[in-house]
Amino acid sequence: MSHWEPPLLGPLNTERRQSHVAFPMTVPLAMETLFHEHVSETIPAYEEVITNLEDAAALLSVLFNGARIKSEYKSVENLQRLLEKNEELQEELKDSWRRNDFMRLQSFAFWYTASSAPEITKGRARGTVINTEVQTLTVAWTSRYNGVLHKLLCNNIHDAFRHGKRRPFGNFASLINCSGSGKSRMMKQLQELIASIPFNLRRTDSGNMQSYPDPDTMVRDHFMDSSHLSALEQEAFFWTFFVHLFNVISDFIAEWSSHRTYSDLVSSWRVHFRDSHTVIYEEVVTKHQNSLTVSIQRTLPNAALRTEVRGALIRLLKNMDQLVPESARREQSGRVKLVCSFDEADVLALQEVPGNAEEGNLYDALCSSLDVFRGLPIFFVFLSTNSQVALLAPPKSRSKSIAAKQHFGSLVAPFTETPFDCSPKFPLPRDGHTLLDIITVEFMAQLGRPLWGSLLNAMEPEPEPEPEPKSEPPSQGKSTPPVSAPPPATAPPSLQNLNPMAAEMIPLARTKLLSCDALPEFTHETKVEVLSQFYTPLRKRILAEVRVCLNYEPSRQKTYDELAEMVASHMRMVYSVPQHREYMRSGYSSDPILAEAAAQEISVLNTSGIDGATSLPSIIADAMANDLCSVGER
């Protein structure tokens, strides 16, 4: 066994600190754990109990028992070596003992592994666009929104609240659809209709694909660090988090001036939150972190903590009501006043909770905790760029949450309506388009899912102003009229003011359709080997599906997982998910950009020289032979 060499830590006051769940540990509790005997409230001197570095290492081991620390720090022998090499760490442990507070010692980032959830599928590309297009996506995110689907979402939320406000688990829903369908942008637009608290829990982008906007890493990591807690502790964790969240926001809006209507209040809320949400979240997490040891250790009775968290929300809602006149309050009566959204919620759904036997994952634990707000005008929405239906909205047979199974009939059916064919250039004139016009990327991008058009329109070059005609000097008598020079040669209209995004659109569509960071590169010698590994049977069926619309029977168990994978990773659109969630209606709607991407991939596949199905008819024949397509379509 190799000898582990401990690191030499820098000055602790310069060491990076990180938000982690504080374990409820005091000196008396640590002594009881170490010596297995009851200790009085009087705290003895450190030197009386910890007589050598071996004892100090054992104390450190108790402090981090059950935490997600690095593997090298789980050994008492290694902790002793670490203390031997770092005298300042020894002094920090002594000071923590004297203060009866180990939180600062526990918060140093060097103890912990990185906070991250496992990937959904190995090799899956995550993100919205390629790295080089991030600036384009940023511009598209802030450009004018087209369409009215955010209003439909608003109506659906109000309707779900009216039907579910007195039922358990009726105050949250998932928004499910494929990448590029405009879910996150639609949620952003919803902020103009309802006061919203948006969280983005996305993992840090890696590889060749990037997303926008940036994640709220402090909140994400804080949530992830609660995964080791027991069922009651996790419930207390989320409830106390919302107590601090609502209290901080209540104080934040307390100094606002009055507004005439709720719409004015929502507009003001959106602007203030856009500029200050990062500071607000940092304050909330810091306050929650500092209170965790106290709040969990004193184990508030369930009824008392329930009253506290509901009271924090009621106070916030009252502060909002005080900013508008009585007439505006009456108009808003019976409607949702606050929406809390969690983008990239699959991060929580993929995080197991080994200490909580009642829930399947951290997402289930969070959803179960939200029932405390039943009957209050708040609604929670969960969404993800890579929408895993089985993660965010599983059928009862696949649900791992005991509480969700008990109240499955109360769950809100997932929202699936997202924008499509919503170009700002619609309606198009009925004539005046040539065949050369309609086969350009610029034209095709106006159709289909909003990702293409929003990226293209964001990079649309400004038209160059026409030069002013030069004034001729006054003529002095007769003169020969000047011979005009031939007009300069001009590029074809399709090449004038070419949008730089147009050249990248089809390659982007190809990578997103096949769920890869980049298209495969190969030489003549490696072509067959590389493409044989790249074109899996699923990827082949996806290409055929986009071109000819294979008909799957969604209620068959054999196809459920494949269709869910297509939605999550291969841009298949969801049309509806019934409340029982046993299946979903989905497909590839007419999307010229995606169809062109599939056609180019099939062309590569036809000339690949690999074994197996490589043409459209042979791919369809394989799908039928494997009993994946509906029998009625054979």
pLDDT tens track for 115-134? 554 444 444 555 555 544 55
pLDDT of 155 reads 96
Measured distance CA(424)–CA(144) in Å, rounded: 9
Say which DSSP state 65 is in.
T
C-alpha dihedral (189, 376, 243, 273), degrees to nearest 10: 20
pLDDT of 596 reads 95
Kindly report the CA angle at 187 between 181 and 192, in degrees rounded to 5? 135
At 256, phi and psi to the nearest 5?
Answer: -70, 150
Encoded tokens for 74: 């789980």
| Cis previous bond, 394, omega within 30 | no
Query: What is the residue whose two structure tokens read 């159709």?
Result: 447
What percentage of the chain carries pLDDT values higher than 90? 47
Q: Does 31 score more than 80 pLDDT? A: yes
What's the mean pLDDT in 325-332? 93
pLDDT, tens only, 286-295:
999 888 765 4
| CB burial string 461-477: b at 16+ within 10 A, e below | eeeeeeeeeeeeeeeee
Kindly report the CA angle at 600 between 598 and 601, in degrees rounded to 5? 65
pLDDT, tens only, 141-199:
777 888 899 999 999 999 999 998 889 999 999 999 998 888 999 999 999 999 999 99
The amino acid at residue 186 is M
> Which one is predicted more confidently, 42 or 474?
42
Measured distance CA(39)–CA(49) in Å, rounded: 12
Encoded tokens for 432: 């005046």
| CB burial string 495-520: b at 16+ within 10 A, e below | eeeebebbebbbebbbbbbbbbbeee
Burial class (CB in 10 A: 0-12, 13-18, 19+), 38: exposed
3-state secondary structure of 240: helix
Query: Which of 461, 464, 482 lies closest to 473 in space, CA to CA?
Result: 482
What's the mean pLDDT in 417-430? 88
Q: Does 461 score more than 70 pLDDT? A: no
Within 8 A by CB and 6+ apart from 243, the residues are: 308, 309, 312
What percentage of the chain carries pLDDT values higher than 70? 81
pLDDT, tens only, 192-241:
999 999 999 988 754 555 667 789 999 999 999 899 888 888 999 999 99
- Contact predicate 79/73, CB 8 Å: yes
- Contact predicate 337/194, CB 8 Å: yes
Up-side HSE of residue 414: CA atoms within 13 Å toward CB? Answer: 30
Q: What is the pTM of this model?
A: 0.78
The H-or-E segment that residue 534 falls in is: helix 527-534
Q: 630 to each of 275, 538, 562, how far by Cα in Å? A: 51, 17, 14
Question: What is the DSSP track for 27-61?
Answer: HHHHHHHHHSS---SSPPPHHHH--SHHHHHHHHH
pLDDT, tens only, 386-400:
666 778 888 888 898
Q: Edge to edge, what strands does the sheet with 172-175 contain?
A: 172-175, 378-383, 338-343, 195-200
Question: What is the DSSP track for 91-115?
Answer: HHHHHHHHHT--HHHHTBGGGB---
pLDDT of 13 reads 74
What's the mean pLDDT in 329-336? 92
Q: Among 62-71, 127-136, 207-216, 430-439, which is the least confidently predicted range?
A: 127-136
Distance of CA 517 to the CA centre of its chain: 18
- Pinpoint the alpha helices (H) of 420-514: 435-438, 441-444, 450-458, 502-513
> Which one is predicted more confidently, 623 or 493?
623
Measured distance CA(80)–CA(267) in Å, rounded: 57
pLDDT, tens only, 294-309:
545 454 557 889 999 9
Q: 150 to each of 269, 339, 417, 452, 494, how far by Cα in Å? A: 17, 13, 9, 19, 34
Query: Which of 253, 241, 256, 321 lies closest to 288 in space, CA to CA?
Result: 241
Kindly report the CA angle at 119 between 114 and 121, in degrees rounded to 5? 165
**Position 476 confidence tier, pLDDT thresholds 50, 70, 90:** very low
Measured distance CA(137)–CA(455) in Å, rounded: 6
Distance of CA 571 to the CA centre of its chain: 16
The residues that bridge with 552 in the sheet, in sequence order, are 629
**Position 9 confidence tier, pLDDT thresholds 50, 70, 90:** confident
- Highest-pLDDT range among 17-31, 404-418, 543-557: 404-418
- Contact predicate 588/549, CB 8 Å: yes
Up-side HSE of residue 147: CA atoms within 13 Å toward CB? Answer: 24
pLDDT of 134 reads 53
Distance of CA 612 to the CA centre of its chain: 37
At 7, phi and psi to the nearest 5?
Answer: -75, 155
pLDDT of 407 reads 92
Q: Does 416 score more than 90 pLDDT? A: yes
Q: Does 65 score more than 60 pLDDT? A: yes
Kindly report the CA angle at 186 between 426 and 546, in degrees rounded to 5? 65
**Position 104 confidence tier, pLDDT thresholds 50, 70, 90:** confident
Query: What is the residue whose two structure tokens read 């969690």?
Result: 342
Distance of CA 558 to the CA centre of its chain: 28
> Which one is predicted more confidently, 48 or 629?
48
3-state secondary structure of 173: strand
What's the mean pLDDT in 460-464? 55
Residue ranges covered by each domain of the chain: 13-111, 154-410, 435-458+499-633
Measured distance CA(451)–CA(449) in Å, rounded: 6
Query: What is the residue whose two structure tokens read 């598209």?
Result: 140
What's the mean pLDDT in 445-468? 74
Say which DSSP state 629 is in.
B
Measured distance CA(208)–CA(455) in Å, rounded: 17
3-state secondary structure of 381: strand
Q: Does 376 score more than 90 pLDDT? A: yes
